[in-house]
């Protein structure tokens, strides 16, 4: 496996929705993980001819970046996430455990935590709504 091969693999991943890939070629193995947060899709309400479209919901969901076990707190003592808690963009709201590795899940907007849509230890899939943040 050459650097050009690795560059092609990374370019292919960046152009797709895949966030993690493992490639084995002979005696070489390569694992690539892209840290990108899926952007929420907010459906629009139908609009009349004389009024602009309005977002269906004001809450912005924080979505799971991969499939894994959800942890609402870090084992070393983060405080538990609660509704009404103020959060900033980029602030950790939960962790995703994949193969014993904890990855942070962060708020995508400033706001206040609304509904917590999952429980600690739940198996979540890519794009699953973890919490709702009200801007």
Q: Looking at per-residue confidence, does 133 or 19 come out higher?
A: 133
Residue 54 banded pLDDT, cuts 50, 70, 90? very low
Q: Which runs of E-coded beta strand occur in 10-100?
A: 20-25, 28-33, 60-63, 68-71, 86-87, 92-98
Q: Does the pLDDT at position 38 exceed 60? A: no
pTM: 0.57
DSSP bridge pairs for 32: 21
């Amino acid at each position: 496996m050459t650097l050009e091969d690795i560059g092609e693999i990374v370019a292919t991943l960046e152009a797709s929705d895949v966030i993690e890939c493992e490639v084995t070629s002979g005696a070489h193995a390569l694992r690539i993980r892209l840290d990108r947060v899926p952007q929420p899709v907010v459906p629009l309400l139908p609009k009349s001819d004389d009024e602009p479209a309005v977002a269906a919901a004001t809450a912005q969901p924080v979505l799971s970046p991969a499939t894994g076990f959800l942890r609402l707190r870090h084992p070393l003592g983060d405080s538990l996430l609660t509704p009404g808690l103020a959060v900033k963009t980029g602030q950790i709201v939960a962790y995703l455990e994949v193969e014993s590795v904890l990855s942070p899940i962060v708020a995508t907007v400033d706001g206040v935590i609304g509904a917590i849509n999952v429980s600690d230890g739940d198996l979540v899939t890519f794009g699953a709504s973890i919490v709702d943040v009200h801007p």
